[in-house]
Structure 1
Amino acid sequence: MIPTISTIPIQQLTSGDRLSIQVYKFTGANPGKKAYLQANLHGAEIVGNAVIHQLIEFLTTLDDTKLAGEIWLVPVCNPLSTNQRTHFFSTGRYNIYDGKDWNRIYWDYEKECEDLEDFAKSQLNLEPPEIRQNYLERIQTAFKKQFEKIQSPSSAPFSERYRYQLQSLCLDANYVIDIHSSSNQAIDYLYCFQSREESAKAFLLDYGILMNEYDGDAFDEAFMKPWLALEKKLAELGKVIQFDIDSWTLELGSGMVMNPNSVKKGIFRIKNYLAQKGVLKIPGFPLESTPSHKVNLTIKSQIKKYYASTGGMIQSRVELGSSIQAGQLLYQLLSFNKTEELPTVIDIYAEADGLVFDVSTNHAVNEGEYILSVM
């Protein structure tokens, strides 16, 4: 297959130069579902670009009969954050103009849908595909107002202009995969919405975080929450259905690196997921073991983050990926106290059992700065 490649301008700079994103669209011989994948929303999280590149190479080797529906791929989806530097280091988690996290700015239809119950009641005698189409049309109509605001004389802040361009690519998708990594160092895992635990198995990951609370306006949330709200409202009215719609944040390792193992496994996991969903028809996928695969999901509110109790240097920290027990030594803080006393070493012990899934890259911390996370 040969993709259709389109370039979308997203910002003109003071100098006259333009920043753009590029979309690779693969269309199968047969109709089907739409999968949307993007990477590098945060500047340091570059690993997904390698995954998408290799997916492009793989898909170009396939005949179009092996794809049912469409796959849209958007690498380097946020050039502003990708190009951001502080000396040797990629930062790019926050928009330096307004201070907002690049993954906390997205338009969420659930927040403005005030007549959801009336809509749900009007759909009770319809089949799921028709309900989905009717609700999608409502979402798209509301979304058009974002464009009208951008086109008005007063226009809109760049974060709203940018999110419009990105979200317009995936509003009608069935499956959204937002590929991230830690901005620090981490294992591979995913974020899973409640009621989508069965679908999560297709990624063949060992660990994940189950969303029982939301960060607010994240890309995966903004896509998925309206559909979850409709499912819940229909269930309350006695019509229990689950739309064939998923949204995932796929976390592949550490920031500022493209770990070959995370890339290789990431491609494998995405192929298996798309095959499980019937989008790809390729030999060997999905794995027969997919339905029985066990994903260890930790409820999001139970994630424990550890912060520096005082300023100092981290030493003797447990290894990333370690299973720990309550009372176990997690790390030490070497503290130079400036009180005419000798330096002190402070031992920090685990509050509960768990798995260390994310650790800070920097071993020098000010009081209150991040050190590690346990699921």
Structure 2
Amino acid sequence: MQPNITSIPILQLASGDVLSLQVYRFQGGTGPKVYLQANLHGAEIVGNAVIHQLLKWLTPLEPHQLNGEIWIVPACNPLATNQRSHYFSTGRFNPYDGKDWNRIFWDYEKETEDLLDFARSHLHLDAETVQRHYRARIQTQFDRLRDKLRSPASAPLSEHYRFHLQSLCLDANYLIDLHSTSNQGLDYLYYFSGREDSAKLFGLDSGILLDRYDGDAFDEAFIKPWLALERCFAQLGREFRFDLEAWTLELGAGMQMNPISVHRGVLGLQNYLIQKKIVQGVVLPQPISKQQMYLTRTSQVKKYYSPYGGMVYPKVALGTSVQQGQVLYQLLIFNKQSYCPTQIEVVAERDGIVYDLASNQAVNTGEYVLATF
């Protein structure tokens, strides 16, 4: 089954060159839509290798083996992917306004004011009808953003970009955003309320429940309106779990395509598509067992920032379980006074697992060093 491949222009440069998205569409029978993208942050390239292997896995399938459709967008932020400083990819922040590329997306939940009324008027309807009507409301409101882009005053780059990207996924059932840390990191995922069982399908060791939000991230903007509607129905005494899911997979380190992280990402996606019955009649050569998964919350994440400027000697490795009071790193502190450099120890404020380490071990006061969950 060959994908339908299209290019979507998203940005014209002053030179006349045009940056575009490449979209691969696999179409099967009637069923759910899966949307998968990678490289939203410029340095986080590992997802492109995952997508390459997934494309090779999907192509030999027959149309009857695909229940629904899968849309795949590698290198989904070409401007960020091409940002450089010396040999280093940056691409986390929009150079025009300084905003994080993954904190710019349109969130319908922030605009709707009558969600409880909507739930009340749909209280006795079936889930499929509710989902269809609510999706139509979201789409209608989203389409109005186009008018601003086409107006004489137009809009900033981030608004053009988000419109193009979100227009590809608003009608999806399952959204998967492939990332990595910009530093050194474990393989884990972010998930949302009520989706714990599905989180285990990816076969990763750890997952972080988003019980608080940084705001306007791609996965949040997709799923938050549906979570809000589920809460409204719960207020009215009806439990709803829409068959919609959003995931961010964090696979290893930035600027790298670590083979182990790539393999785990590919295997997890394959298993997810099979277990969700999107892909049928396929058995994985390396099945994912229903393993125990370490689940925590964003409110339990602890980030450590350097209290002084200096050089970091790490005392813990990625994946290390640490206890309160254990030394995390030593900081070598220089000075412009008449005495030798000093060294201090920084200890863990609470128990946790080290899941992210800064790549740069030279820090100024207040710069990020590591994180535990």
* TM-score, structure 1 normalization: 0.97
2:358 corresponds to: 360
1:347 corresponds to: 345
Contact kept? 1:357, 1:373, Cα under 8 Å = yes
1:191 corresponds to: 190
1:329 is aligned to 2:327 = yes
2:114 corresponds to: 115
Contact kept? 1:37, 1:177, Cα under 8 Å = yes
Contact kept? 2:274, 2:282, Cα under 8 Å = no
Partner SS for 2:30? strand
Give the whole-Å Cα distance in 2 for the aligned partners of 1:77 and 1:2.
Answer: 21
Contact kept? 1:275, 1:286, Cα under 8 Å = no
The residue type equivalent to 1:103 in the other structure is: N
1:22 is aligned to 2:22 = yes
The residue type equivalent to 2:216 in the other structure is: D
Give the whole-Å Cα distance in 1 for the aligned partners of 2:234 and 2:32.
Answer: 24
- For residues 1-375 of structure 1, what are the structure 2 equivalents within 5 Å? 1-28=1-28, 30-284=29-283, 292-375=290-373
Contact kept? 1:181, 1:251, Cα under 8 Å = yes
Contact kept? 2:177, 2:249, Cα under 8 Å = yes
Give the whole-Å Cα distance in 2 for the aligned partners of 1:316 and 1:337.
Answer: 21
Shift of 1:58: 1.1
Contact kept? 1:272, 1:286, Cα under 8 Å = no
The residue type equivalent to 1:362 in the other structure is: N
Deviates more, 1:217-226 or 1:311-320: 311-320
The residue type equivalent to 2:72 in the other structure is: L
Give the whole-Å Cα distance in 2 for the aligned partners of 1:88 and 1:128.
Answer: 51
Shift of 1:288: 7.8
Distance of aligned partners of 1:86 and 1:336 in 2 relative to their CA distance in 1, 3 Å threshold:
same
Contact kept? 2:252, 2:261, Cα under 8 Å = yes
Partner SS for 1:37? strand
RMSD (Å), alpha carbons: 1.3
The residue type equivalent to 1:9 in the other structure is: P
Contact kept? 2:204, 2:264, Cα under 8 Å = no
Give the whole-Å Cα distance in 2 for the aligned partners of 1:313 and 1:184.
Answer: 16
Partner SS for 2:139? helix
Deviates more, 1:241-250 or 1:194-203: 194-203
Contact kept? 1:276, 1:286, Cα under 8 Å = no
* Deviations 1:251-303, CA, capped at 9 Å, x for gaps: 0000000000100110000011111111011433599875x432211111111
Give the whole-Å Cα distance in 2 for the aligned partners of 1:371 and 1:316.
Answer: 9
* Deviations 1:27-77, CA, capped at 9 Å, x for gaps: 11x211100000000010000000011111111111112110000000000
Give the whole-Å Cα distance in 1 for the aligned partners of 2:369 and 2:279.
Answer: 40
Give the whole-Å Cα distance in 1 for the aligned partners of 2:362 and 2:128.
Answer: 54
Partner SS for 1:358? strand
Partner SS for 1:2? coil
* Deviations 1:2-33, CA, capped at 9 Å, x for gaps: 000010000000111100010000011x2111
The residue type equivalent to 1:80 in the other structure is: L
What's the % identity of the aligned pairs?
Answer: 60
Runs of 4+ in 1 over 4 A off after TM superposition: 285-290
Unaligned runs of 5+ in 2: none
Give the whole-Å Cα distance in 1 for the aligned partners of 2:197 and 2:315.
Answer: 35
* Deviations 1:310-329, CA, capped at 9 Å, x for gaps: 01111143111111111111
Give the whole-Å Cα distance in 2 for the aligned partners of 1:317 and 1:373.
Answer: 13
Give the whole-Å Cα distance in 2 for the aligned partners of 1:112 and 1:276.
Answer: 35
Give the whole-Å Cα distance in 2 for the aligned partners of 1:86 and 1:248.
Answer: 30
Partner SS for 2:199? helix
* Deviations 1:162-193, CA, capped at 9 Å, x for gaps: 00000000000000000000011100000011
Give the whole-Å Cα distance in 2 for the aligned partners of 1:282 and 1:339.
Answer: 71
Give the whole-Å Cα distance in 2 for the aligned partners of 1:48 and 1:244.
Answer: 25
Give the whole-Å Cα distance in 1 for the aligned partners of 2:3 and 2:75.
Answer: 17
Give the count of matched residue pairs: 373
Give the whole-Å Cα distance in 2 for the aligned partners of 1:344 and 1:65.
Answer: 68
The residue type equivalent to 2:336 in the other structure is: K
Unaligned runs of 5+ in 1: none
Distance of aligned partners of 1:160 and 1:359 in 2 relative to their CA distance in 1, 3 Å threshold:
same
Contact kept? 2:271, 2:288, Cα under 8 Å = no
Deviates more, 1:247-256 or 1:317-326: 317-326
